[in-house]
Structure 1
Amino acid sequence: MTTPPERLQSPENRSRLIRHFEQSSIENHNSAWDNLWETDNSDMWDRGKPSPALIDLLEQREDILSPIAANGQRKKILVPGCGKGYDVVMLALHGFDAVGLEISAKGVSTAEEYAKKELQAPQEYNFGSAWAIKSERGSVSFIQGDFFQSDCTKGEKFDVIYDYTFLCALHPNMRAQWASRMADLVFSGGLLVCLEFPLFKEISYPGPPWPLQGVHWNLLAEGGDGILYPPKEDQQVGTGSFERKWYIKPDRSYESGQGTDMLSIYARK
């Protein structure tokens, strides 16, 4: 039986994560995330392994996403909100120079410890069935800081950025800032890879994770504000900074999004 929307949104059915952020203003969300790290509550979003959808993309569609540029240089990829560093390490094992960004100092130290151990003896979950060693490992590094601060990456731009649960962790009022900052950080012609989640939640439901059905397209391609509920009849939508190049439902994803996640790739204009 399907649970009615009013029951899903009732206080007793809201997740620990939603209840935690209901008590914080948007201005204090960074501190709220840091508090969850410091109180050992990262299990609320930790997946325990790198993204199966991203692994399959890297191994099966090198024509779309390759770790080596046309000039022979290794591409640099950023993972904002990298958590414990699973995707950062996996990307390095596939040949990228991978950089993880976290707001929490404890989160960064946790990721650095994980990377140190994992790079010495990579686990099988870093690779898919199509794995074939085509390039040497890239480097791994982590940054502790606020993604929205211009000096966070010291003016550096990236060939690729990967977003899984970073956008959905942000209050909807910050979505336009997310799109603008992504445009600042990606080279012209560079790629923004998004594993779109959660797409199974109604756009009006609370978060985090905040529902994202249609949000990536509105922000990146249409130049909208990403707030689709309630709909704005007079919203003026301009031209976005990105062009969508690829949009598929991945064969594999995390259990929480399997069958509903979409994998999109946007090119910076």
Structure 2
Amino acid sequence: MTDTPERIQTSEGKSRLIKHFEKSSINNHNEAWTNLWETNNDDMWDRGKPSPALINLIEQRPDILSPITADGRRKKVLIPGCGKGYDVVMLALHGFNATGLEISAKGVATAERYAREEFPSPQSYNFGSSTSRPEKGSVSFIQGDFFADSGEKFDVIYDYTFLCALHPSMRARWAGRMADLLVSGGMLVCLEFPLFKDPRLTGPPWPLQGVYWDLLAEGGDGIVYPPKAGVEDQRDPRTGQFDRMLYVKPEISYESGKGSDMLSVYVRK
């Protein structure tokens, strides 16, 4: 069953998350996320496994997302807000050099422990239907603020529940930071969630219908309410820093967004 805005707003985990952030100013959201880790409330966003939609993209569309560059270098991937590290480990198992970023020291320690246990003998949920097993890449984790200055560049960034965790006033900064972190021609892969949630509802997770396109392709501020008519069909003016090369409904996804998630790939100009 696909979550409705009412279910996600009133379910115990999500209402606790929203109430937690209602007590905190926007400037203190980093501390609010850290507090959830420190008080063992990370279950409110934990999916328990890597992204099925991302696995399917890697295995079924190597023409779009391959772990090796044209000149034979292993691609560097960043997963901001990586949680317990499921996607970081999965990407490394598929041949990428994967880095996870978390704001909390406890979150990083949790992800590092998971990687130590999972990487040598991975569970089947790290793979889809493909029987091919590429040479493993590397796994690393960083504690820090996504918006802090850094000279490091990546070939790929994966965003699932990172943008929806940010207050809407921070969306333009998110888009600018994504552009800064990617090499020219680099890819931002987004599992867009939640698209089913009424834009009038609060978060996190904040509703994102039409937001990725507005931010990345149009160079907007990401404040899309009400949703623009025909927003996904607009192509001009291309004032954003990204071109969209893929926009599909994934064949498989998490239950929380199944049937409503969209998988998009944006290329840094």
> Superposition pairs for residues 146-185 of structure 1, below 5 Å?
146-151=145-150, 155-185=151-181
Q: 1:192 to 1:208 in 2, by over 3 A?
A: same
1:51 is displaced (CA, Å) by 0.2
Hey, what does 1:122 align to over in structure 2?
Answer: 122
Query: 1:228 deviation in Å?
Result: 1.2
For 2:132, the equivalent position in structure 1 comes to: 132
Q: Which structure 2 segments of 5+ residues have no match?
A: 229-236
**In 2, Cα distance between the equivalents of 1:31 and 1:76?**
28
1:76 aligns with 2:97: no
Quick one: higher RCO (CA 8 Å, sep 6+), 1 or 2?
Answer: 2
Contact 1:59 1:131 in 2 (8 A): no
2:185 is aligned with what amino acid?
G
Structure 2 residue identity aligned to 1:65: L
Counterpart Cα distance in 2 of 1:16 and 1:51: 24
Does the residue aligned with 1:150 lie in a helix, a strand or coil? coil
Alignment of 1:101-116 (within 5 A): 101-116=101-116
Instruction: Quote the Cα distance in structure 2 between the aligned partners of 1:51 and 1:170.
Output: 20
Amino acid at match of 1:139: S
Q: How does 1:182-201 map to 2 (within 5 A)?
A: 182-201=178-197
Structure 1: gaps of 5 or more residues: none
Is the alpha carbon distance of 1:14 and 1:56 closer, same or farther for their aligned partners in structure 2, counting shifts above 3 Å?
closer
The alpha-carbon deviation at position 205 of structure 1 amounts to 1.0
In 2, Cα distance between equivalents of 1:171 and 1:180: 15
Percent sequence identity over aligned pairs: 74
Pick aligned residue for 2:206 from 207, 210, 222: 210
TM-score by length of 1: 0.91
Once residues 110 and 19 of structure 1 are traced to their aligned partners in structure 2, the CA distance between those partners, rounded to angstroms, is 25
TM-score, normalisation: structure 2: 0.91
* Inter-partner Cα distance in structure 2 for 1:13 and 1:42: 10
Letter in 2 for 1:250: P
**2:240 aligned partner:** 240
Instruction: Let me know the Cα RMSD of the aligned residues.
Output: 2.2
**Aligned residue for 1:142?**
141
Q: Which runs of 4+ in 1 moved over 4 A?
A: 4-14
Q: Is the Cα contact below 8 Å between 1:7 and 1:13 reproduced in 2? A: no
